Amino acid sequence: MIAQALSPIVNLIYPPRCPLCGESMAAQDGLCGPCWSELVIPGEPACTACQRPFPPENGLKEGLCAVCMANSPRHDGITAATLYNDASRRLILAYKHGRRIALADMLARLINARLPPLEGEWLLVPVPLHRWRLWRRGFNQSALLARFIARTRHWPLCVDALERHRRTPVLGGLGKKARARALTGAIRTNPRRQAVLRDMQIILVDDVMTSGATTAACVSALKRAGAKKVRIACFARVLDEALDY
């Protein structure tokens, strides 16, 4: 109520502008029309295990993609708000490296809108940052996204369920195998949260899912701790081949 009452004053002092192109807007809660149209939303049909969109020419309406048939995933589904393209990349850069944390609610709203109906209670767990990276950045971008979803869905949130106890190099530019090697043994569950994780249904929240190496390490740690199910939810997913259809 306070935010709504102060909104006209805030808009007068700070006129709403699109965070991507800077054009004037009516409210400070999203993107302008042209910039919304630049985002690519994953469509159907898609893989029943990982939600990788199928190309329309293959005629499939359901089933597993080639990646999941070759290696059965340990996760229990992936929800991505967008496919990673130039528009989503600029949003992530502004949010994570530009420290525009006010974008967290908008990005999380898009993730939340894509989550399917889920039965029972789910625990929100963010992908962890190493303590030194958290200190330098000042916030965990995945934790802010998870907090919004938890508040909207009325699900519990455990921000320290996972620990990145060993520093890893910057993963950008590394291939899938190199990413997996860099993350080997780097992520574990917090010993103080073992009882919370056991037999729980968990949604693992990340900002960008690139090769899947980081989320795979997190899923493995959570399953070892006794989690019943682990679904992955992210704002942007890198699937370059899916941008062509």
The answer as to whether 151 is a domain residue is yes
| pLDDT tens, position by position, 161-217 | 999 987 776 666 666 667 667 677 789 999 999 999 999 999 999 999 998 889 999
**1 occurs within a structural domain:** no
Domain, as residue range, for 111 = 16-244
In a domain, residue 109? The reply is yes
Residues 6+ apart with CB under 8 A from 136: none
Residue reference for tokens 């330098």 = 136
Return the CATH number at 105.
Answer: 3.40.50.2020
Looking at per-residue pLDDT, the higher value among 2 and 117 belongs to: 117
Q: What is the pLDDT of residues 33-71, one digit of tens each?
A: 899 999 999 988 899 899 998 887 666 667 888 889 998
Tell me if 167 is assigned to some domain: yes
How many structural domains comprise the chain? 1
pTM for this predicted structure? 0.88
CB neighbour burial string for 156-175, b if at least 16 within 10 angstroms, e if fewer: ebbbebbbbeeebeeeeebe
5 domain residue, yes or no: no
**Mean pLDDT of the region 216-242:** 94
How far apart are alpha carbons 200 and 19 in whole angstroms? 37
Q: Is the pLDDT of residue 244 over 80?
A: no
Is 79 part of a structural domain of the chain? yes
77 domain residue, yes or no: yes
